[in-house]
Structure 1
Amino acid sequence: MRLILATTLLALTGLTSAAPVTVQDDRGATVTLPGVPKRIVSLLPSLTETVCELGDCAKLVGVDRFSNFPASAAALPKLGGLDDTSIEALVALKPDVVLLGVSARVIDRLEALGLKVVALEPRSMGDVQRVLGKVAQVLGKPDDARRIWNRIDGAISFHAQQLPPAARALRVYYEVDAAPYAAGRASFIGEILERLGAKNIVPAELGPFPKLNPEFVVRADPQLIMVGQRSASGLPQRPGWGGIRAVKQQKICVWVPNESDVLVRPGPRMGEAAALMARCLRQAAAGPVPLPTTPFNAPPGGMR
């Protein structure tokens, strides 16, 4: 009788693990997998980190060139980026599902080859929470998504509560790229800044990551600038920027590459991003912000 019961339980367990998984991605496409995937390709760093945070890093068989965290993901085969993914190498990995951004150019080609594709595009904090839930749904771990989101949200609140009054209400310009592209109030970066009490000079109506006329920043005259080390070179020499209050008072927080990775990826490390921004706000409230002592060395393939 015990043997029969054990066999029945095993059979039921097998049926459960093989139950179809259905998810609607950010294209509005409904994707049905025959079961929880065992082989996953991720073509977006934030999605790679999300899979790992959910405990399924071992299921990743390939990633994009920018996925460098955690270390186990950094060691996986690199398949290119949004615009130059190696389809042949990807297909050879025989993934059960490919996770990528909505803007990836390879979606139609991969689907034509019969691969299951889930396209997700986190831009705001609400998007991050939703995408975390979608990935957890694909992996069969919806409860873990709620736990992880509560930890992220709690960490942001903690760092906001620790800031002294002098570090609040500073007018901030956050540059994500030297074009210049900015993190607006509608972006996850802008929303974290708001949670920390900062005043983003880029209004929400311009979108999450708008390309700005440099004169816009000059006129806005921010008290603090946050920028990656790659884009910081020559910033004070831009036409008119020498007169910006943040430049004159040396209140520019320059992120080294590993910090930039944390800050620009809408995923599980947003609590760490809040800690970095809070550190910057405290430094700016106290006086000139020290520049990094580490020289800039671009990671292989650039940064994302």
Structure 2
Amino acid sequence: MKPWHRLLLAACCLLAGAAQAITITDDRGRQLHFDEPPRRIVSLLPSLTESVCELQHCDRIVGVDRYSNWPASIQRLPQVGGGLDPNIEAVVALRPDVVLLSVSSRVSDRLEALGVKVAALEPKSHADVRRVLRVVGDLLAVPHAQGADRVWRVIDAAVQAAAQSLPARARGTRVYFEVSRGPYAAGASSFIGETLVRLGVRNVVPPELGPFPRLNPEFVLRARPDVIMVANRSMQPMVLYPGWQNMAAVKEGRMCEFGPEVSDVVVRPGPRMAEAARIMAGCLAKSFP
């Protein structure tokens, strides 16, 4: 081989290697550098697990938190505990190239001290969901047009279609959405609250209370919502808070209780938000036929 051929080949190899190098910035503002897309991923947040899979790279996930359960193939993977406080030894034993987790997780520093790369990503709004999809796509070296942007177009179109499907009587109604017992509510500034607005209804929990505030049940009584939606992820029958049996929404059957599987769909800010919009629209249509 002639010398200039060797130089050309070396240059091509360098360019190919550089093309695979990846840098992302997580929600802590920290930059993470990878020489190539990570091949072994531990995901400790269900919405991030679902995003990796929706971007067609489920095969790279080698371990998950106990709540990641979709798609079904994920259920065969090792579970390393809760997302906020996983078993550190179990995570490290999986030899991950990166661990995906929420900003509120308590193990980021400990994992990084052990030499494990951590990407903290936590979508709370529609804009966050689109941005996080792009960051995950960048991490996986999936072009935006083929990955994150495609997924977001599906979500956006589904929310718009769900809004158009609502009967006129349902539009403008006042909705209370409970994400978990407490009660913890989906405020107007949350991704659930933004979906409700796009569906053409009003949230009784104002944005100044934050995305997912804990409320006194009396607040809901005083708010007198027209429709109540409750995500009940437990296997136990839902018990009404004191006084709720007197609310018109309860007495007139304008209350939708979502079981564990449906709750997983509606409370996760990820690729299944398209299905979540259809579920919420279905509740509104049933409440105001």
TM-score of the superposition, structure 1-length normalised? 0.87
Partner in structure 1 of residue 93 of structure 2: 92
Residue 171 (str. 1) matches residue 171 (str. 2): no
Distance 1:38 1:83 in 2: 23
Partner in structure 1 of residue 55 of structure 2: 54
Contact 2:84-2:104 within 8 A present in 1 as well = no
Distance 2:280 2:167 in 1: 13
Partner in structure 1 of residue 201 of structure 2: 198
Identity of aligned residues (%): 55
Partner in structure 1 of residue 104 of structure 2: 103
Partner in structure 2 of residue 138 of structure 1: 139
Residue number among 234, 241, 247 corresponding to 2:239 in the alignment: 234
Partner in structure 2 of residue 301 of structure 1: none
Distance 1:191 1:83 in 2: 26
The one-letter code sitting in structure 2 at the alignment partner of 1:207 is G
Deviation of 1:10 after TM superposition, in Å, equals 8.4
Deviation of 1:139 after TM superposition, in Å, equals 0.7
The one-letter code sitting in structure 1 at the alignment partner of 2:17 is L
Residue number among 147, 150, 155 corresponding to 1:152 in the alignment: 155
Contact 1:82-1:103 within 8 A present in 2 as well = no
The one-letter code sitting in structure 2 at the alignment partner of 1:41 is V
**Deviation per CA, 1:91-147, whole angstroms, max 9, x where unpaired?**
111111111000111100000001111000111111111111111111111321111
Report the CA distance shift for 1:36/1:205 in structure 2 as closer, same or farther (over 3 A): same
Distance 1:74 1:263 in 2: 19
**Deviation per CA, 1:232-285, whole angstroms, max 9, x where unpaired?**
6221xx222122121121211010111000001100000000000010000000
Deviation of 1:16 after TM superposition, in Å, equals 4.7
Between the two proteins, the alignment pairs up a number of residues equal to: 280
Deviation of 1:44 after TM superposition, in Å, equals 0.3
Contact 1:232-1:254 within 8 A present in 2 as well = no
Once the two structures are superposed, the pairs formed by residues 248-267 of structure 1 within 5 Å of their partners are 248-267=251-270
Residue number among 221, 236, 240 corresponding to 1:218 in the alignment: 221
Distance 1:148 1:180 in 2: 32
Superposition CA RMSD, Å? 1.9
Distance 1:40 1:13 in 2: 26
Contact 2:178-2:229 within 8 A present in 1 as well = yes
Deviation of 1:13 after TM superposition, in Å, equals 7.7
Comparing 50-59 and 238-247, the one that deviates more: 238-247
Gaps of 5+ in 2: none
Distance 1:146 1:169 in 2: 30
Partner in structure 2 of residue 15 of structure 1: 17
Contact 2:47-2:269 within 8 A present in 1 as well = yes
Distance 2:158 2:253 in 1: 29
Contact 1:184-1:206 within 8 A present in 2 as well = yes
TM-score of the superposition, structure 2-length normalised? 0.92
Distance 1:82 1:145 in 2: 24
Deviation of 1:169 after TM superposition, in Å, equals 1.3
Deviation of 1:32 after TM superposition, in Å, equals 1.2
Distance 2:84 2:97 in 1: 22
Partner secondary structure for residue 98 of structure 1: strand
Partner secondary structure for residue 31 of structure 1: strand
Distance 1:260 1:165 in 2: 26
Deviation of 1:29 after TM superposition, in Å, equals 1.1
Once the two structures are superposed, the pairs formed by residues 41-80 of structure 1 within 5 Å of their partners are 41-80=42-81
Report the CA distance shift for 1:95/1:10 in structure 2 as closer, same or farther (over 3 A): farther
Distance 2:12 2:68 in 1: 37
Residue number among 187, 193, 212 corresponding to 1:184 in the alignment: 187
